[in-house]
Amino acid sequence: MEIFKVALRNVFRNPRRTFLNVIAIALGVMVLISMQAWIIGMEQTVYQTQRDIDTADVQILNRGYEAESVRLPLDLGITDTKAVETFAHTLPGLEAVGARIDYAAGISNGVTSVPVQVRGVDPRAEPKLTTIARNLTAGTWMKGPNDIVVGSGLAATLGLHVGQQVFLTALDRYGVRNLVSGTISGIFSLGFALFDHHIIFTTLDKAREALSLRPDFATRVVLRFHGNDTAADTAETIRALKRNATLAGQPLKVYEWKEFAQTVVSSIDSRIRILTLMLGILVLLVAVGILNSLSMSVQERFREIGTLRALGMKRKNLRRLFLTEGLLLGALGGIVGVLAALALGIAFAGGIDVRKLLPENMPIPFTSLLKPVYQPLPFVLAIAGSALIAVLGAWLPARRAGKLHIVDALGSHL
């Protein structure tokens, strides 16, 4: 206890040295915690956005559909969507379920035609599955069977406006090119070019009309659950499907949302690996800086060491004194760094809009503000880690100090 009191007094006896050491440690801790929070925030923001605007959580498809998905096959669909939706409502934690039909088509304003991907959806279920309906900049979500919702980029390209009639041309299930018409009921804007320029939404009835499909046909059934454990939801859906007597014999397969977002997942994973490597290098640099700073502060006190030895302090207690000082400096620097990181977290709690900073054709969806995600464990580890590194930084100089002869220490120029 006496050594602790002396160490505490020594830490605050030289304010300048203590201030510099604490600031060096605090800056490193602040940067490390903040960088990790932004990495986690980026991952969670992008993955949540992908589920919110496109995939939802879990999807049920014909077993052979994904292998042929490039051609958007109409011969590999779900023929009894009502039965699948009824089954879905038995799943625990289900928030919403709806059928979809995906197909390629051309959309025309009567003068110009451009190719698009059409998504036929249940107009009542889709607003619960995705956030498209909440991102309308003009008009309303689909209410009637002929309503069509388009992105702001496509609307600008074709000069479309709410209430305007448009025409869709598509090859139906028999290979016949069909022409159907519809009315623009709404225009959405996500700030994500893939959707704003290339994807439109129609009702399931309109999609079935364009493709000459039966009333209960869909290419997939999409499910959204409460919570974020999509892997567990997928596993439970698979188990329940195997137990379901009505659907057990049908060629159905359950997929987690990541199966349909491979480009996004791989892109984010590669960026996170790069950022994690940079974070590891930064940890190493911060540790080296702390070690060097504390090593120098011990070496500057060789005269003091000689005096303490001359007054009768044993080598063992001298080492303990310097190690305790290192522990106090490291813990103090870690606490200051944690407080600084918290201050930064509060300052950026509202997030930042990175959409204008990224290229328009970037395959990663940033349709909402990017926010850092701070977790309790890094704060605790930061304080403990900075204290440990500071103790390590004081260890070798403390051992060297303990081995010094009194005459050598008192005669040191350091």
Beta strands 252-256 and 177-188: pairing type? Answer: unpaired
Arithmetic mean of pLDDT, 350-366: 65
Beta strands 113-121 and 199-203: pairing type? Answer: parallel
- pLDDT of residue 154 exceeding 70, the answer is yes
- pLDDT of residue 412 exceeding 60, the answer is no
279's tokens: 């974070």
Average model confidence (pLDDT) across the chain? 84
Residue with the bigger pLDDT between 183 and 311: it is: 183
Arithmetic mean of pLDDT, 365-382: 79
Confidence of residue 108 (pLDDT cuts 50, 70, 90): very high
In sign, the C-alpha dihedral spanning 344, 348, 349, 354 is negative
- pLDDT of residue 414 exceeding 50, the answer is no
Lowest mean pLDDT among 131-145, 239-253, 301-315, 344-358: 301-315
Q: Are 158 and 114 in contact (CB under 8 A)?
A: yes
Confidence of residue 374 (pLDDT cuts 50, 70, 90): confident
Confidence of residue 331 (pLDDT cuts 50, 70, 90): confident
Per residue in 218-236, pLDDT (tens digit) is 999 999 999 889 999 999 9
Per residue in 170-201, pLDDT (tens digit) is 998 888 999 999 999 999 998 888 889 999 99
Q: What Cα–Cα distance (Å) separates residue 119 from each residue in 75, 111, 199, 383? A: 17, 23, 7, 51
* pLDDT given for residue 347 in this prediction: 87
Per residue in 78-99, pLDDT (tens digit) is 999 999 999 999 999 999 999 9
Residue with the bigger pLDDT between 26 and 121: it is: 121
Confidence of residue 413 (pLDDT cuts 50, 70, 90): very low
Q: What Cα–Cα distance (Å) separates residue 110 from each residue in 148, 198, 275? A: 15, 18, 49
* pLDDT given for residue 411 in this prediction: 58
Per residue in 10-62, pLDDT (tens digit) is 667 777 777 877 887 888 888 888 888 888 888 888 888 889 989 999 999 99
* pLDDT given for residue 386 in this prediction: 81
Instruction: Give the type of residue at 153.
Output: G
* pLDDT given for residue 349 in this prediction: 81
What is the secondary structure of 19-51 as a DSSP string? HHHHHHHHHHHHHHHHHHHHHHHHHHHHHHHHI
CA distance 181 to 373: 46
Residue 317 parent element (H or E): helix 315-347
Q: What percent of the chain lies above the pLDDT cut of 70?
A: 81
- pLDDT of residue 325 exceeding 80, the answer is no
Q: Are 203 and 98 in contact (CB under 8 A)?
A: no
- pLDDT of residue 328 exceeding 90, the answer is no
Angle between helices 376-403 and 15-50 (to 10 degrees): 150
Confidence of residue 168 (pLDDT cuts 50, 70, 90): very high
